[in-house]
Structure 1
Amino acid sequence: MSTALIGAELESRIASNLFASLASAARHDQPYRNWRLQGVFPEPVARELAALPFGPVELGGVSGRRELHNDARQYFAAEVLDAHPVAREVAQGFQSPAVVRAFAEATGANLDGTYVRIEYAVDQDGFWLEPHTDLGVKALTLLTQLPAEGQEDLGTDIYGGPGDWRERSAFEWNGALLFIPSDRTWHGFERRPIRGIRRTVIVNYVTEEWRAREQLAFPQSPVTSR
């Protein structure tokens, strides 16, 4: 089978998994509407993602916002797509019109004309994130988890507002937290010990106004649901 056919087959499997994961997602309406997904990627893809050879960000004692370490962050873009086929195949899956349409129909988000941005986050002890909303040029946020053993308490913290902690999402293998950014979608990561390396795949659809074009999987190709 040719490389192109293998890529198309895996893209199709990724799409099929996303459809099933969205269809069975549990919707929560408080403190804002969000969805909890399971089985986001085919199991072989999830395992391959967890094995990507990216090291943790060296914090230097500074954390609270991801942009403080922009120079060390990894994206499924440019040379990463060329060096790691699974990264390209996942990015192509989220670029698929059928997948874009499925997310739009499930959430009500208007994604046409946005761009796929996928960050592969590798966090270590000392990492934390202050509550924030993602409001602005992000049209959808999907936080997918690839935990190691003993990391059950490393899920995303959800707030009713700054300083109003409500719950912590489960940090389940190949699960995800999904929401449409608004002025209510407060989330973060409370200070707590991280044993080993915390790996997450952060998928956003972002608008044309996104300035860091080098972070986009396909910066010349906005998505469409048609």
Structure 2
Amino acid sequence: MRESVAVKHSDAEAAKSTADDVVQAFSQSVAAGERSDQPYPHWVLRACLPADTIEDILALPFPAPSLEGVSGKRELHNKTRKYFDAENRAAYPVCEAVAEAFQDKRVIGLIEKTFDTNLDGTYLRIEFAQDTDGFWLEPHSDLGVKSFTMLLYLSTDPSHSDLGTDIYDGDKNHVGRSPFESNAAMIFVPADNTFHGFEKRPIKGVRVSLIINYVTDEWRAREQLAFPEAPIG
């Protein structure tokens, strides 16, 4: 059963696209996705969500947090991170639509089949990330409690074209960078060699993205989850 949250959107306009619209757009994106096996299996998808869903997400009234001169790991700023959690699902229709879509059995089945992962018993976690100048991430693999990672790029500033995710080999040597395009994504299933990060470089304005994960029951920060009482399956 889904978690019983009274969804009230009195302070926000209705989402322009429904959860079903998101399911359809994502499904089409996966069908047209590009796979690379070097240095590990990963995919690049485009047109992942309906265009007006991207507009609604970018309009969310969450201020970009200050880095306070510290970066390298996202968990260094846990207090200011934002999620499509139960509270924001209730407050913002677009958060609800996207969360419902990625909880949908059609999307779950498609992800499991296409990306060869098992999401049974996992929980949906969607982070709304806003990165500003000075941001960087050390190479890391996501191996552990994450069963799927989707890095969905959102911001539309043309200067962000070189702000994709940096890709490393098993020895953490930099070997490439995913393309940064609004509504495009990089996807991989975490393994011991799926090293990725973000090399420090200038960021004009705010680099906006969604980080979509399915995490195991060992995930401790239950308040970050979209449906903390509703595991997949």
Deviations 1:17-51 (A, max 9, x none): 11111111000000000000001100110111112
Contact 2:83 2:127 in 1 (8 A): yes
* Whole-angstrom distance in 2 between the partners of 1:51 and 1:28: 33
Pick from 59, 74, 78 the counterpart of residue 70 of structure 1: 78
Amino acid in the other structure paired with 1:24? A
Alignment partner for residue 148 of structure 2, among 137, 140, 151?
140
Paired letter, 2:57: L
Q: Distance in 2 between matches of 1:133 and 1:166?
A: 15
From 185, 193, 198, the counterpart of 2:194:
185
Structure 1 residue 209 corresponds to structure 2 residue 218: yes
Q: Distance in 2 between matches of 1:213 and 1:116?
A: 10
Aligned partner (choices 31, 36, 54) of residue 46 of structure 1: 54
Partner secondary structure for residue 151 of structure 1: helix
Name 1:100's counterpart in structure 2: 108
Cα separation, 1, equivalents of 2:193 and 2:69: 29
CA contact (8 A) 2:27 2:110 kept: yes
Q: Which residue is equivalent to 1:81?
A: 89
TM-score by length of 2: 0.91
- Report the CA distance between 1:53 and its aligned residue: 1.4
Give the share of equivalent positions with the same residue, in percent.
Answer: 49
1:123 and 2:131 aligned: yes
Kept after mapping to 1: 8 A contact 2:21/2:50 = yes
Could you tell me how far apart the structure 1 residues matched to 2:33 and 2:179 are? 13
Unaligned runs of 5+ in 1: none
Cα RMSD, aligned residues only:
1.5
Runs of 4+ displaced beyond 6 Å: none
Which AA in structure 2 matches 1:216?
Answer: L
Deviation of 1:113 (Å): 1.1
Kindly state the Cα deviation for residue 162 of structure 1 after the two structures are TM-superposed: 4.8
User: 2:184 maps to what in 1?
Assistant: 175
Instruction: For residues 74-108 of structure 1, give each alpha carbon's deviation from its aligned partner in whole angstroms, at most 9, with x where no partner exists.
Output: 01002111111100110000000110000000011
Contact 1:131 1:162 in 2 (8 A): no
Please list the CA deviations of residues 149-202 of structure 1 after superposition, one character each: whole Å capped at 9, or x if unmatched: 221011000000354000011001100000000001000000000000000000
Name the CA distance, whole Å, in 2 between partners of 1:43 and 1:191: 29
Q: Distance in 1 between matches of 2:171 and 2:51?
A: 36
- C-alpha contact 2:43 2:187 (8 A) present in aligned 1: yes
2:167 matched residue in structure 1: 158
